Amino acid sequence: MSFYVTTPIYYVNAQPHLGHAYTSIAADVLARHHRRRGDDTFFLTGTDEHGEPVADAARAQGLEPRAWADLNAEKFKALLPAIGVAPDFFIRTTDAEHKRRVQEVLQRVYDNGHVYKGLYEGWYCPRCADFKTESEILDGNRCPIHEIELTREQEENWFFRLSAFQGRLEQLFESQPDFVAPARARHEAQAFIAQGLQDVSLSRAKLRWGVEVPWDEGHVFYVWFDALLNYYTALGYARAGEDLTARYWPPSVHLVGKEILKFHTLYWPAMLWAAGLELPRQVFVHGFLQGSDGRKMSKSLGNGLDPFAVLERYGADALRFYLLRDVSFGGDGNVGMDAVASRYEAELANEYGNLVSRTLAMLVRYRDGRIPEAPVDPVLESELASLAAEVAAAIDGVDPSGGLELIWQRVRRLNRYVEERKPWELARDQDASTSLDSVLVTLHRGLQVVTTELGPYMPDTSARVLQALAAIPLEVIPPLFPKTP
């Protein structure tokens, strides 16, 4: 079975921040999980580099758009290894191969009769040489940048016949309710359709920084059509000399933030139909990370969480754990450094890290680091045996937070088990040797099970602990999650 997961491609104008890290980490956890269970897995991320804001920013820096994009794309690329994220390919929409394929697909959309020439009318700023959207203009129809009055102008544009897909989209949401998840995201998409869809412009005549429209060279494609197609084009050239399209298309799941729901749940399926391509199986819409005060993170409020500060203090595994543990994936959540510290100390250091420490210490002290020959305690056997399947079901359903909770129930269970069986008392009693063997084997086995399941979430930690548990003789290792880092 193949599994193809994507993140949105990140717009190069922004600096990499927590939101980018969040989606990338979630996608990475899904990818690692599926890969481990044997699915033929492909994980795509990348950068979106066209459109007017990029051209503007480049100009402001005195750079060519491409040079500016190169600079910023590097920052996004560099973020990934720092947070333990390992995609199979990093696409840039300025890749020549991407552009060629965008033209190919959209030419097909054109040939299939879904495109027509129309008039785009809007508010135009002569100083910006650009149209402004209704939402950004100031009172009195003034430019948000120059504060001068805008003029009503028209431009000849190519339009995509989105309205023609209204019925098909309605049908899609009814017949395939999990196309958009969670349910509240689907409701939002359906409400949007119910309002009635209008055609959208597919090209821009006044802009140069984009993919040229092959049937009309004076135009470039509107950046969203270029950007969405990355999910398709990447498969064509991610591996030199190999086309992966047949192997991975259609995508299993697109992870997206809720601010881009409309593009992924309405425009995207319509465009794929228009091009005669298969639809992704699911668009999963996750929530927003908000500041610890429950408000949107912003520099002026000073309520943001800096991923780089977390990395520096606690490391990549702790950041990955924290984000998926403290915020139920799919909903919004509040995050902050205090909460990171609290999860780190209470759960990673005290509960899990200390469980590793005490288990290894007892095996070393009581059995010279040898794992005794004894059966796993039947009290815990079934609980441990069922964990892998339960976690798999959770992650398959794009609920990584749920999977983590299931793992943590076992971590707590194992600490409780230690207290119940009191191995230090058994060790003082000559007649209890068999019981002690069984307790130690059970703890060793339990740790192996939970640590294996933690693999997709905390790859480094998981690998280190599994190695320590396999060493002969076993040795005490330094604290995995030291306090007061």
Partner RNA sequence: GCCGGAGUAGCUCAGUCGGUUAGAGCAGGGGAAUCAUAAUCCCAAGGUCGGGGGUUCGAGUCCCUCCUCCGGCACCA
Per CB under 7 A, 48 contacts RNA: yes
The Cα 215–Cα 392 span in angstroms is 48
Residues 138-197 that bind RNA (CB under 7 A): 159, 162, 184, 187-188, 191-192, 195-197
Q: Which of 33, 99, 114, 125 is catalytic?
A: 125
Q: What is the 3-class SS of 8-55, one letter each residue?
A: CCEECCCCCCHHHHHHHHHHHHHHHHHHHCCCEEEEEEEEECCCHHHH
Q: Which is nearer to RNA, 60 or 246 (CB)?
A: 60
Among 16, 19, 46, 51, binds RNA (CB under 7 A): 51
Does 444 participate in catalysis according to the annotation?
A: no
Q: Which stretch binds RNA (CB under 7 A): 67-75, 125-133, 232-240, 242-250?
A: 125-133
Residues 396-415 that bind RNA (CB under 7 A): 412, 415
Does 146 participate in catalysis according to the annotation?
A: yes
Q: How far is the CB of 37 from RNA (least distance, A)?
A: 26
20's CB contacts (< 8 A; 6+ apart) are 10, 14, 76, 79
Instruction: Write out the H or E segment, with its range, that includes residue 286.
Output: strand 283-286
Per CB under 7 A, 19 contacts RNA: no
Residues 322-341 that bind RNA (CB under 7 A): 326-328, 331-334
What single-letter amino acid sits at 463?
A
Per CB under 7 A, 11 contacts RNA: yes
What single-letter amino acid sits at 388?
A
Does 128 participate in catalysis according to the annotation?
A: yes
Task: State the CB neighbour count (10 A cutoff) for residue 95.
Answer: 17
Does 99 participate in catalysis according to the annotation?
A: no
The Cα 466–Cα 297 span in angstroms is 38
383-389, long-range: CB within 8 Å, 24+ apart, which pairs? 383/410, 383/413, 384/410, 384/445, 384/446, 384/449, 387/449, 387/450, 387/453, 388/449, 388/452, 388/453
Per CB under 7 A, 134 contacts RNA: yes
Whats the size of the chain, residue-wise? 485
Residues 218-247 that bind RNA (CB under 7 A): 222-224, 227
C-alpha angle 461-467-473 in degrees, rounded to nearest 5: 135
Q: Which is nearer to RNA, 2 or 190 (CB)?
A: 190
Q: Which is nearer to RNA, 62 or 478 (CB)?
A: 478
Does 114 participate in catalysis according to the annotation?
A: no
Residues 246-275 that bind RNA (CB under 7 A): 258-260, 262
Per CB under 7 A, 425 contacts RNA: yes
Does 20 participate in catalysis according to the annotation?
A: yes
Q: Which of 117, 146, 187, 422 is catalytic?
A: 146
Which residues make beta-bridge pairs with 90?
45
Catalytic positions, please? Answer: 17, 20, 125, 128, 143, 146, 296, 299
